[in-house]
Amino acid sequence: MTEAGNSASVVASSAATSIEAVEAAIQRRRRSRARRDRVAALIYPVGMIAVLIVLWQAAAALFSIPSYLLPAPSAIAQAIAVNAVLLIKQSLTTTIEILLGFALSVAVGVPLALGIFLWKPFARAVYPVLIASQAVPKVAVAPLFLVWFGFGLLPKVLIAFLIAFFPIVINTAMGLAMVEREKIYLAQSMGLSAFATFRKIQLPNALPSIFAGLKISITFAVVGAVVGEFVGGQGGLGYLLLIANGNMDTALLFAGIVGLTVLGVAFFAVIGLAERLVLPPHAVESTSFGRETM
């Protein structure tokens, strides 16, 4: 019996060791896949952009495209280098407008989404108005803001807010509404209050959708700031684009577009970083494109 017990103990120990080895191998494989995903997320877009730039440069030289129609990437890079100080100065103005418009979108959009989710009469009254507000072209509203608020910072921030707040409202409301009813029933059966249920179950489950709305909103805020600068700006990258277009300086025009693109990508990346810090890895992966499922 003693020998049989020892044998069983050895077998159990070997099985436990094998399970631990398998789990360690799985963890190593997951870490390796995560590293590959991070490298691929950087290499693929950079490689694609490099290929497009090379083709663009070759096409400009091969077909002798006039620079006032389509400058070569080398000419755009030269314009960026020559006007670097100007571009940075105007980027700061646009950045302030984007951040203020985005912050106002979050401050208004999230409580509005909570009201839509929690109070059905409020949702029935407000939701059609929200839809109608998105059907109105913001370029048509921008001159009114200039009449009401002048040519300062406020009208640009409000235009950025009008364009950027809708994705936050919709994604937040949808994320809260998509929580499984079984989880709510389980929380109620455990005696959790409505606030505790919201804080521990509904809000965490809605965070991936909320962050998706924030990513969309920050890019829309860039568009809104540029629209405001187009209509009545006295500074910013949008105003610089108007000046470059009036002077037929197409290289500087593209340089301003590059600056706006960099701002949009940078803000999007900041929201993505915040998402990774707040959400667990599996939740972040579930909202990302191009992930392997096996």
Q: Are residues 44 and 104 in the same domain?
A: no
Given a contact cutoff of 8 angstroms between Cβ atoms, the answer to whether 151 and 189 are in contact is no
Per-residue pLDDT of the chain (294 residues; tens, 9 = 90+): 455 555 545 444 555 566 666 676 677 777 777 677 777 777 878 888 888 989 988 888 888 888 888 888 888 899 999 899 999 999 999 999 999 999 999 999 889 988 888 888 888 888 888 888 878 777 778 788 888 887 788 888 888 998 888 899 999 988 888 877 777 767 767 776 767 777 777 778 888 888 999 999 999 999 988 988 888 778 888 889 988 888 888 899 999 999 999 999 999 999 989 888 887 665 555 555 554 443
Give the range of the structural domain holding residue 228, as residue numbers without chain letter: 71-286
Would you list the DSSP string of 70-134?
Answer: S--HHHHHHHHHHTHHHHHHHHHHHHHHHHHHHHHHHHHHHHHHHHHHH-HHHHHHHHHHHHHHH
Among the candidates 44, 64, 84, a domain finishes at 64
Quote the pLDDT of residue 288: 55
Number of domains the chain contains: 2
Whether 292 maps to a domain, the answer reads: no
Regarding whether 75 and 46 lie in a shared domain, the answer is no
Are 219 and 162 spatial neighbours (Cβ–Cβ below 8 Å)? no
Q: Which residues contact 216 (CB under 8 A, 6 or more apart)?
A: 167, 171
* SS3 label, residue 65: coil
90-94: list long-range contacts, CB under 8 Å, 24+ apart.
90/235, 90/236, 90/237, 90/239, 90/240, 90/256, 90/259, 91/237, 91/259, 91/263, 93/235, 93/236, 93/237, 94/222, 94/225, 94/226, 94/229, 94/236, 94/237, 94/238, 94/260, 94/263
CB 168 within 8 A of CB 116: no
pLDDT at 197 (0 to 100):
73
Residue 140 in domain: yes
Asked whether residue 51 falls in the same domain as residue 147, the answer is: no
Of 64, 87, 108, the position where a domain reaches its end is 64
- Reference 168, options 96, 261, 103, 228; nearest CA is 103
pTM for the predicted model, two decimal places: 0.78
In a domain, 293, yes or no: no
Q: Is residue 11 part of a domain?
A: yes
Domain boundary among 32, 64, 96: 64
Query: Is 142 domain-assigned?
Result: yes
Could you tell me how many residues make up the chain? 294
pLDDT for the residue numbered 294 = 37
Report the 10 Å Cβ neighbour count for 183. Answer: 14
Domain-located, residue 104: yes
Which tokens hold the place of 256? 């301003």
Q: Are residues 1 and 41 in the same domain?
A: yes
The answer to the question of residue 173 being in a domain is: yes
Are 38 and 84 members of one domain?
no
CATH number at residue 133: 1.10.3720.10
Q: 3-class SS at 235?
A: coil
Using CB atoms within 10 Å of the CB of residue 22, give its burial: 0 to 12 exposed, 13 to 18 middle, 19+ buried: exposed
Are 102 and 246 in the same domain? yes
- Same domain for 206 and 118, yes or no, is yes
Say if residue 28 is in the same domain as residue 76: no
Q: Are residues 171 and 279 in the same domain?
A: yes
Q: Is 254 left (phi over 0), alpha (psi -120 to 50) or beta?
A: alpha
Cα distance between residue 279 and residue 292, in whole Å: 19
202 lies in the same domain as 160: yes
Q: Looking at the structure, do residues 150 and 269 belong to the same domain, yes or no?
A: yes
Question: Is residue 294 assigned to a domain?
Answer: no
pLDDT for position 281: 64
User: Are 100 and 228 part of one and the same domain?
Assistant: yes
